Amino acid sequence: MHRITPDDLRTTNDNFPFTHFPFRIGPPLAPVSRFVGCIANANENEPYFLLTAVALAASGLPIPAIATKCIYFYVGARYAFSTVYLFLGDIIPQPGRAFCYLGALFTMVTLAVATLMA
C-alpha cells in the first residue's frame, strides 16, 4: 500500500491555469519586490535631478548647451536602469545596472556644476 507523502501533494506545474500546455504562455512575471525596489530607487534619486533642472530653468540665465544634453542622457540612463532592474536582471549581471546608475549620477553632477557656473 502506497503512503501519501508531502511530495505527492506538491504540484510541479507552474503553467497554471494553462496546465495542458507543456510551455509557459506569455512572458515570465518579474517579482513584485523588483517593482517596489525600482520605485524606491526612483523616489530616492529623481527628485534631486528635477530640483537641479528646475533651479537652472528658474535662474533666468541662459541655459548652457550641455544642460540639455544632460537632461536627455539622464532620462535615457534612468530608462536603461529601470529596464535592467526590472526585466533584464537575470540576463545582465549586476555591473550593468551599476553602470546605468553611475551614468545618471554623473550626469546629475554635471548638470549641478553647469547650474552653478551659469
Label each residue of 26-77 as H, E or C.
Answer: CCCCCCHHHHHHHHHHHHHHHHHHHHHHHHHHHCCCCCCHHHHHHHHHHHHH
Amino acid identity, residue 62?
P
Region 93-104 average pLDDT? 87
Count other Cβ atoms within 10 Å, centred on residue 109.
12
Residue keyed to cell 523616489: 43
Of the candidates 76, 82, 96, the residue with the CA atom closest to the CA atom of residue 42: 82
Q: How confident is the model over 58-84, as pLDDT tens digits?
A: 888 788 888 888 889 999 999 999 888
Amino acid identity, residue 89?
G
